[in-house]
Amino acid sequence: MTLVLFVVIFTIMVALFFDLVNGFHDAANSIATVVSTRVLSPRVAVLWAAFFNFAAIVVFAPKVAGTISKIVKIDAKDPAFIYVVLAGLIGAIVWDLLTWWWGLPTSSSHALIGGLVGAGIAHSGTEVVRWEKLISAVTFIPLAPLIGFAAGLTLMFSVFWIFRKWRPMSVDKFFRKGQLVSAALYSLGHGGNDAQKTMGVIVALLIAAGYFSPDVEISLLDLKTAWIILSCHFFIALGTAMGGWRIVKTMGMKITKLKPVGGFCAETAGAFTLFLATHLGIPVSTTHTITGSIIGVGSVRNFSSIKWGIAFRIIWAWVLTIPIAAFVSALCFGVIKGLHGGF
């Protein structure tokens, strides 16, 4: 086995581990509202979410994967780009694990983008970055939670109006069942957008190693690429099934108190945002999206019920994710370069 092949196999393993961590880290996004409203227990909720994470494989075209694989300009003639991908993954995983430990719902997506950009710049300077793709992703840092907020707010007002003559107990019973559907929809969106980010990384790696051409298109119908799609959806579903209770408490209980009707509206608003972004091929943060949706729903009942101190703590973590992940990945690439000595 050549060194290049060994590094490629190792990096694919790291990418799938990132996918696992992503599912673990972001499990809270899919289940926070359905758990905080006590519609499902945490264990049943993560299994429910994991199933629909995997089911997304047949719902969405891999447009997001194409965006991620092209965020850094890959030169297949330069074997150092294999290490750029590896260092980018390591930086993203380090930030993900730190924020999981701190209980902060930051974005695995933006950690990955920051990691690839940081390692790419460390190797070849700023010209290696496709800025138009980076800017589209960065633009959605504020847009994703704002769309989620607006959708959650609008949906909550609409539900209040439509069900205004119902008894509270009947509304609660109806939306406890409705949350099973909304949680499933949100998990579909989560699996569709987030699993594709790891697919994009693996594609970028195989382009760098010369196994794929730069214009490759991945598809379940192509045996050369079907394994990438299947494995990424499997590992994100597995990570979701493992859960992440620390972040569940922040997302579903500390920001604002939710009832089943609020949980339904937040999840549906989040699902709408994710479906839209995935259709457009834009990698967005599922964390940002559901947080905006929860705040939008909570502000309908009582704007002061939102615990803004926690919300601003989360926002600061969002702002810092891309630069810190980029910095960590640049350091990782520097270490790899020092140890390798061949480039």
Q: Tens of pLDDT along 66-99?
A: 888 889 988 878 888 899 999 999 988 888 778 7
Give the integer Cα–Cα distance in Å for 16 and 2: 21
Average pLDDT, stretch 3-8? 86
Helix (H, G, I), strand (E, B) or coil at 43: helix
Provide the pLDDT for residue 343. Answer: 64
Q: Is the pLDDT of residue 252 over 60?
A: no
**How big, in percent rounded to 5, are the helix, strand and coil portions of the chain?**
80, 0, 20
Q: Is the CB of residue 200 less than 8 Å from the CB of residue 193?
A: no
What does the pLDDT look like over 141-160, one tens digit per residue? Answer: 788 889 999 999 999 999 98
pLDDT of residue 251: 47
pTM for this prediction: 0.84
Counted domains in the chain: 1
SS3 for 72?
A: strand
Say how far apart CA 262 and CA 255 lie, in whole Å.
13
Task: Tell me how far apart the alpha carbons of residues 62 and 55 are, in angstroms, rounded to a whole number.
Answer: 14
Burial grade of 312 (CB within 10 A; 0-12, 13-18, 19 or more): exposed
pLDDT of residue 258: 66
What pLDDT is recorded for position 313? 67
Does the pLDDT at position 254 exceed 60?
Answer: no
Looking at per-residue pLDDT, the higher value among 152 and 299 belongs to 152
Using alpha carbons, list the distances in angstroms from residue 81 to 19, 218, 285, 310.
20, 20, 26, 39
Domain containing 253 equals 3-340
Residue 284 CA: distances (Å) to CA of 96, 189, 223, 239, 301: 16, 11, 28, 19, 28
